Amino acid sequence: MKKEILIGFAVGVIAAVFGFIFAIQIFGKSDDWGVVIQQAISQGFFTKLMSIGALLNLGAFFIFLKKNKDLRAKGVLIATVLILITTMIIKFTN
């Protein structure tokens, strides 16, 4: 049971990281990820990139639900809530 939730959590984190990378590639004005991240932080849209990246979790969540893997979907949901909390902390501390 815990293994299934952990798998879903890992999928959620990995999907969010890939989504973040895709968002950097689409919206960044440089090929260097470090430069894009520094610009995003200085211009105040880093949290928006994080939110866009987390959209891939939506797909993973519904795929797990469709395959009746409810515990894995729960893990993806936990990862998404953790990303939400992290995003809010970053947004309101800067």
Interatomic CA distance for residues 85 and 79, integer angstroms: 10
Q: Per-residue confidence at 15, pLDDT binned at 50, 70, 90?
A: very high
Q: Write the pLDDT tens digit of every residue in 19-28.
A: 999 999 988 8
CA triple 69-71-77, angle to 5 deg? 105
What are the residue ranges spanned by the domains of the chain?
2-93
pTM of the model: 0.87
Per residue in 62-92, pLDDT (tens digit) is: 999 999 999 999 999 999 999 999 999 988 8
% of the chain beyond a pLDDT of 70: 99
